Amino acid sequence: SRPMSLELVGGGDDAVLYTTDLLTGAIYVIDTSAGSVRTINTNGAGTSGIAVDTKRNRAYIANQYDPTGVDVIDLATGAELASIKTPAGTLNAAYDAKNDLVYVVEFHSNKVVVIDAETMKQVGDLQVGNQPNHVTVTDGTAYVVDKSQGGADWSDQIWKITSKVTSTPDPDPTTPTPDPTTPTPDPTTPTPDPTTPTPDPTTPTPDPTTPTPDPGSKTGSVDVSVSLPATGGLALTVGG
């Protein structure tokens, strides 16, 4: 085996350490208190990075040699939930719990891929320096290191990435839109005959048990704005 990146989740007696195997694609789940190791076999090839979505107990593994690039694994069952095609050379990944995003660095394409953790779909990518190698996230801000030698005295660079996620609710499909061609009422139209019978009181009212939409649900489109303030305000806005 050849363990690669490390991801530590939790702390104290509850800390769990995750790592990947470059040769087999396996995920090793290590109970740091008991010292036990659980192996989750995957279809990854050249698996070198891992990010754990603690909200859903999922792992995003970055595969250097696999054309799918990123595989999403259910850590409870070991099932593969999704495969996200990215350019070759996917090296590392990090989960942004604040914005519910996953960042993946692409060594050969010089990009950072952004994934919506809820839908497990790519929502954008961002061009950074040559050969980005590692990414980490703290409090909603991602930091990426490259091997570009593009800084002062041929030094490598660290890119600071900030994100803003907004959800736009879908329109209520039950609300009718006014027909602009509907004629306005004729003011000379006679008023209704007061002898007209009132509606039958036995007509059933709508079922009050019909569920209303969950106000906390994430609906509509998701806009992800990613900016690199260290590079003169370069920004990317994409729709999900």
CB burial of residue 50 (10 Å; 0-12, 13-18, 19+)? buried
Give yes or no for a contact between 95 and 104, defined as CB atoms under 8 angstroms apart: no
Tens of pLDDT along 199-238?
555 555 555 554 444 433 343 344 555 555 444 333 333 2
Higher pLDDT, 163 or 59: 59
pLDDT computed for residue 122 by the predictor: 92
Tens of pLDDT along 90-125?
999 999 999 999 999 998 888 999 999 999 999 888
